[in-house]
């Protein structure tokens, strides 16, 4: 059986399984700019898109209703492909995130190592699989909390007992994730980037928290539920113009909760790098909107210059919480650096 047929069969069956699975509770961190946060989608992104990439993400939300939730993430990945005509290559990466919520700063800090293998199906297409192994710590600051039993009749008195079974203030656990990614890039062929013929796409399936670690401060048997993710993104340039469209989507299900997030960017190429002239820099500007079902509308912007990309977005709350937030959700910023200019056209000879 051909590799394409095998992958299609497995891919369809995994999607069918994900859409019919049920459970309950617990959600992971998420970024509105999911296209700038590859390892929250799929460990198979390691080495799949760029030869080397480093990025930082920061998100702040719910500032209008109290102490804001803050999430910081960073990642680095590199391909070990040594020959342009290689039919397969390995890649590795590492990523880190810290998420703190509310007055008690309840949150998770986690570091992960990722390995991936990618196989070329043809000149433009490859399929990869990735495995991620990490270690996480959950923590909470009980001293920042106030309880009704600590009211002495006149004011809050921190010396009074809360009479609560608060449990431990931190605990740790190992974590495992895996995924499969299909990617396409016609820039690997003979197209001239100055003609704006770029077509780049990826589609993947991933599973997080395969080890289902215990997830409780008070020693119960509650577990961190497995998270299933389906995601896709594509750059469709309009030939011989400066315009392009970058639609994308992400679906995840973790226990009972699920999220559907989709939208598009409109991309305008300001200047293209050319292998025929001395023009060594390139730039593009993108703006668009996404929608997280029953939660938020998101306005997004990307600025690309040579090897750098800066992304900014703002969530406008549309859920029932908007009565308290007046629609104010959260601000997010991301920065990415890649080793090879993503506008560059590289010619490959395969098969």
Question: What is the per-residue pLDDT for 63?
Answer: 64
| CA-atom Rg of the chain in angstroms | 22
Question: What is the per-residue pLDDT for 328?
Answer: 66
Signed CA dihedral, 5, 11, 15, 21: sign only: positive
User: CA 341, 344, 347 angle in degrees (round to 5)?
Assistant: 135
Neighbouring C-beta atoms of residue 280, cutoff 10 Å: 9
Distance separating alpha carbons of residues 77 and 261, to the nearest angstrom: 25
Question: What is the per-residue pLDDT for 82?
Answer: 74
Q: Are 204 and 35 in contact (CB under 8 A)?
A: no
DSSP E strands in 11-61: the ranges are 52-61
Distance separating alpha carbons of residues 105 and 72, to the nearest angstrom: 14
In angstroms, what CA-CA distances link 45 with 92, 265, 286, 350?
A: 10, 21, 22, 22
Please, what's the b/e burial string for 122-132 (b: 16 or more CB within 10 A of its CB; e: otherwise)?
ebbbbbbbbbb
Question: What stretches in the chain show pLDDT beneath 50?
Answer: 1-26, 277, 341-345, 347-351
Q: Where are the domains of the chain?
A: 3-338
Question: What is the per-residue pLDDT for 190?
Answer: 52
What's the CATH number of domain 3-338, 3.10.180.10, 2.40.160.40, 3.80.30.20, 2.40.37.20? 2.40.160.40
Distance separating alpha carbons of residues 280 and 271, to the nearest angstrom: 10
pTM for this predicted structure: 0.81
Neighbouring C-beta atoms of residue 262, cutoff 10 Å: 14
Closest-CA residue to 198 (of 99, 345, 46)? 345
Closest-CA residue to 212 (of 179, 252, 177, 253)? 177
């Amino acid at each position: 059986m051909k590799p394409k047929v095998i992958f299609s069969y497995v891919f369809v069956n995994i999607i069918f399984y994900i859409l019919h699975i049920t459970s309950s509770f617990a959600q992971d961190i998420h970024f509105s700019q999911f296209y700038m946060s590859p390892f929250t989608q799929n460990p198979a992104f390691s080495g799949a898109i760029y030869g080397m990439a480093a990025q930082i993400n920061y998100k702040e939300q719910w500032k209008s209703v109290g102490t804001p939730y803050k999430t910081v993430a960073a990642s680095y990945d590199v391909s070990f492909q040594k020959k342009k005509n290689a039919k397969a290559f390995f890649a590795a990466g590492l990523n880190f995130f810290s998420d703190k919520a509310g007055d008690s700063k309840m949150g998770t800090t986690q570091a992960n190592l990722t390995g991936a293998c990618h196989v070329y199906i043809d000149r433009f297409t490859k399929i990869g699989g990735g495995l991620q192994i990490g270690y996480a710590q959950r923590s909470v600051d009980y001293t920042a909390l106030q309880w009704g039993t600590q009211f002495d009749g006149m004011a809050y008195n921190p010396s009074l007992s809360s009479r609560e079974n608060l449990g431990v203030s931190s605990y740790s656990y190992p974590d495992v994730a895996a995924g499969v990614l299909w990617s396409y890039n016609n820039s690997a062929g003979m197209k001239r980037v100055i003609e704006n013929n770029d077509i780049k796409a990826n589609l993947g399936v991933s599973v997080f928290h395969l080890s289902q670690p215990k997830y409780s401060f008070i020693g119960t048997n509650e577990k961190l539920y497995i998270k299933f993710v389906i995601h896709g993104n594509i750059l469709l340039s309009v030939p011989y113009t400066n315009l392009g469209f970058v639609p994308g989507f992400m679906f995840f299900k973790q226990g009972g909760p699920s999220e559907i997030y989709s939208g598009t960017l409109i991309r305008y190429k300001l200047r293209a790098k050319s292998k025929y002239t001395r023009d060594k820099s390139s730039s593009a500007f993108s703006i668009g909107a996404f929608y997280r079902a029953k939660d938020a509308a998101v306005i997004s912007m990307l600025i690309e210059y040579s090897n750098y990309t800066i992304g900014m977005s703002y969530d406008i709350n549309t859920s029932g919480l908007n009565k308290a937030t007046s629609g104010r959700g959260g601000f997010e910023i991301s920065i990415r650096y890649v080793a090879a200019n993503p506008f560059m056209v590289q010619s490959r000879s395969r098969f």
